C-alpha cells in the first residue's frame, strides 16, 4: 500500500483545524512532503511524519532522534525537541492523530459508509455479522476489530481492538484500495477515551450491551459508560442501534442525541425479539419490526447471540439492505474464531472455546454450554483471569463459575502477577459452591485434564482467551509462548477419546 505524499503546508492547515490552542511550525518549506503518520519509532520509514505521543509508560519525544535516524522527514510534538528536523508544535499530539492520520492516508473514510460497534460483550460477533449482511446486500465491506482487519479474502493483524488512529486510517485506505465501499469498526471504550476514532463519522453506531469492565483504565463505571456513549454524539454518528435489555442500554437510548433504533425483548423495542431457540446446529430468532415478523437463522451457537443477531438485523435495515439479503447474510456468516467455537461431539465430549472474560459473559457462556450437554451430562469449566487487568472482576468470575459442575482453575496469562494469587481471588467467589473445584496452574494440563475427565454427554467450556494464540506470564511481550486453547483441546480429544466418529464431526473439530 502506497500512502500519498502530503505537503507540509497541508499538514499545518489540517492541524490548525483542530480545536485546542495554537499551532507553531518550526522549519520546513511549504513544498516539503511527508508520507504516513507513525507513532512508533521502530516503524518509521524514510519520509514519515513521526508523532511524539506521550503514553502511560513512554514519551515519544524521547525517541525523536531515533525516528530522525530512521529517515523521518518531520516531527509532530507538543514540546521542544533537540532534533534537526522540521517540527509542527501542537498543544496535544494525541488530539492530532485522528485528523492528521486521515489526511496522510488520503482521507479514505470519505469513500466509505462506516458502521461503529461498541459494547462490553458481543462487538466482534456483531461486527462479523454486519460484514456478512452488507456483503449479502452487494457491497464489499471491510471490518476492523479484535480479530484484526479483513476485506475481500485478505486479512491483516492488529495489536488492539481499535488501532491507534494513524493505523486505523491506513487500514481504511487498504480497504478502499481493495474495492470496499463500507467498513465496520469495533470501537472500544479505551479507543473512544483516547481519541483513536477521531476524524471518523459513522452512518450507524451499535451498542451491544454493557457491564463493568476495564475499570483499571476508566476508574468508575460511570466513566466507562460515558466513554462508550461518546460514540453516539452528533459529530460522530448519524444514527444508533441500541440493545436495551439492560438498564445502561436503555439509559443510552433515552439520552443519545441521535435517532436510536431500540433492540431487545422489551415491548417498546423497535426491533423486538419475539422468540428464539438455540442448539448445536445454530440459533433461530423470530423478530418483529414495523414491517412485520421475520425469522432469521444463523450457525452461531448460544443464546448470547440472540441480541447480536437482532442488532445486526436492525443495522442492516437502517443501511438500506433488503430484508431477504439480511436474512441470507446472517444465515451464512460463520462463527468468529473463539466465540462459542464448538469442537468434538459425535460420541466424544463437546468442547466450547469462548472469549468470555467478564462475569455476565461467563454466565451466558455457561448457559450456552448447558444447552449443549447431553442427558445427564456435566459441565466442566476451565477458568482463569488475566494478570494486571481488572482485578475487581475476579471474584465475580468465581461467582458466575458456581453454575458449573466442575471448575478447573488455571492460568490465563499472569503478565508478571503471581498466578497463584490470581487463582486465589477466583476461588473466593467459589467458596461454598456445589461445584467441584480443581486447581491445575498449567493451562495445557488443565484443558487436557478437563477433556480426559469428561464423558460423552459432557461439555468442556474453555473461557477467557478465545481466539488468542499467545500466552504471557511476564511483563516482557518477547516472553510470550504459543498456546491456542482450541488446538490444545483438539489434541486432547484425539488422545483421550479417539478421532471423530463421523466425517461431520471431523469437520466440526477442524
Annotated binding site: 41, 161-162, 188, 196
Task: Give Dmax (Cα) for the chain.
Answer: 77
Which helix or strand (DSSP H or E) is residue 88 part of?
strand 87-89
Report whether 212 contacts 247 (CB < 8 A): no
Closest CA to 239 of 148, 294, 311, 155: 311
Residue 66 backbone phi and psi in degrees, to 5: -65, -40
Q: Take residue 18 and report the three cell numbers written for it.
A: 483542530
Closest CA to 277 of 309, 248, 254, 247: 309
Residue 402 backbone phi and psi in degrees, to 5: -60, -20
Can you count the helices (H) and strands (E) in the chain? Answer: 17, 26
Which residues lie closer than 8 Å to 185 by C-beta, 6 or more apart? 114, 115, 116, 117, 127, 143, 144, 145, 162, 168, 197, 200, 202
User: Cell 483499571 maps to which residue?
Assistant: 216
Which residues lie closer than 8 Å to 392 by C-beta, 6 or more apart? 212, 215
Sequence-ordered strand ranges (E) for 311-458: 341-344, 350-354, 379-383, 406-409, 436-439
Closest CA to 202 of 29, 76, 343, 318: 318
Closest CA to 125 of 305, 263, 282, 246: 305
Cα 376 to Cα 366: distance, rounded to the nearest angstrom: 16
DSSP state of 108: G
SS3 463: strand
Closest CA to 167 of 43, 77, 263: 43
Bridge partners, residue 185, by sequence: 116, 144
Calculate helix-pair angle for 306-318, 323-332, nearest 10 degrees: 140
Write down the H helix ranges in 142-210. 165-177, 189-194
Amino acid at each position: 500500500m502506497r500512502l500519498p505524499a502530503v505537503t507540509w503546508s497541508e499538514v499545518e492547515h489540517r492541524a490548525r483545524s483542530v480545536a485546542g490552542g495554537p499551532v507553531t511550525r518550526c522549519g520546513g518549506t511549504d513544498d516539503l512532503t511527508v508520507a504516513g503518520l507513525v507513532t512508533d519509532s521502530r516503524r518509521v520509514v524514510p519520509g514519515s511524519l513521526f508523532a511524539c505521543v506521550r503514553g502511560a509508560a513512554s514519551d515519544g519525544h524521547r525517541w525523536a532522534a531515533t525516528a530522525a535516524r530512521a529517515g523521518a522527514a518531520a516531527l509532530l510534538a507538543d514540546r521542544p525537541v533537540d532534533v534537526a528536523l522540521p517540527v509542527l508544535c501542537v498543544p496535544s499530539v494525541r488530539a492530532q492523530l485522528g485528523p492528521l492520520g486521515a489526511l496522510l492516508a488520503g482521507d479514505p473514510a470519505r469513500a466509505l459508509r462506516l458502521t461503529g460497534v461498541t459494547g462490553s460483550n458481543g462487538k466482534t460477533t456483531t461486527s462479523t455479522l454486519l460484514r456478512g449482511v452488507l456483503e449479502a446486500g452487494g457491497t464489499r465491506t471491510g471490518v476492523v476489530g479484535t480479530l484484526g482487519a479483513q476485506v475481500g479474502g485478505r486479512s491483516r493483524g492488529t495489536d488492539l481492538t481499535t488501532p491507534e488512529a494513524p493505523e486505523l486510517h491506513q487500514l481504511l485506505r487498504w480497504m478502499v484500495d481493495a474495492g470496499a465501499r463500507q467498513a465496520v469498526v469495533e470501537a472500544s471504550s479505551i479507543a473512544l477515551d483516547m481519541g483513536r476514532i477521531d476524524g471518523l463519522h459513522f452512518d450507524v453506531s451499535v451498542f451491544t450491551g454493557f457491564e463493568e469492565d476495564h475499570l483499571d483504565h476508566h476508574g468508575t463505571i460511570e466513566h466507562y459508560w460515558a466513554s462508550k456513549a461518546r460514540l453516539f454524539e452528533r459529530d460522530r454518528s448519524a444514527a444508533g442501534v441500541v440493545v436495551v435489555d439492560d438498564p445502561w442500554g436503555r439509559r443510552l437510548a433515552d439520552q443519545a442525541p441521535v435517532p436510536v433504533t431500540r433492540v431487545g425483548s422489551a415491548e417498546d423495542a423497535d426491533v423486538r425479539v419475539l422468540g428464539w431457540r438455540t442448539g448445536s446446529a445454530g440459533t433461530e430468532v423470530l423478530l418483529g419490526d414495523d414491517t412485520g415478523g421475520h425469522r432469521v437463522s444463523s450457525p452461531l451457537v448460544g443464546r448470547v447471540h440472540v441480541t447480536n443477531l437482532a442488532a445486526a438485523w436492525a443495522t442492516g435495515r437502517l443501511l438500506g439492505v433488503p430484508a431477504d439479503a439480511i436474512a441470507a447474510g446472517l444465515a451464512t456468516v460463520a462463527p468468529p474464531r473463539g466465540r462459542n467455537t464448538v469442537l468434538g461431539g459425535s460420541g466424544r465430549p463437546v468442547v466450547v472455546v469462548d472469549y468470555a472474560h467478564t462475569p455476565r459473559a461467563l454466565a451466558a457462556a455457561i448457559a450456552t454450554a448447558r444447552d449443549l450437554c447431553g442427558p445427564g451430562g456435566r459441565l466442566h469449566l476451565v477458568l482463569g483471569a488475566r494478570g494486571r487487568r481488572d482485578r475487581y472482576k475476579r471474584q465475580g468470575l468465581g461467582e458466575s463459575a458456581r453454575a458449573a459442575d466442575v471448575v478447573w482453575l488455571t492460568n490465563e496469562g499472569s503478565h508478571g502477577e503471581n498466578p497463584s494469587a490470581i487463582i486465589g481471588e477466583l476461588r473466593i467467589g467459589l467458596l461454598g459452591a456445589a461445584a467441584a473445584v480443581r486447581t491445575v496452574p498449567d493451562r495445557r494440563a488443565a484443558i487436557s485434564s478437563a477433556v480426559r475427565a469428561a464423558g460423552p454427554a459432557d461439555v468442556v467450556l474453555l473461557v477467557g482467551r478465545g481466539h488468542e494464540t499467545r500466552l504471557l506470564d511476564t511483563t516482557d511481550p518477547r516472553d510470550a509462548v504459543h498456546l491456542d486453547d482450541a488446538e490444545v483441546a483438539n489434541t486432547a480429544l484425539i488422545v483421550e477419546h479417539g478421532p471423530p466418529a463421523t466425517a461431520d464431526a471431523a469437520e466440526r473439530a477442524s
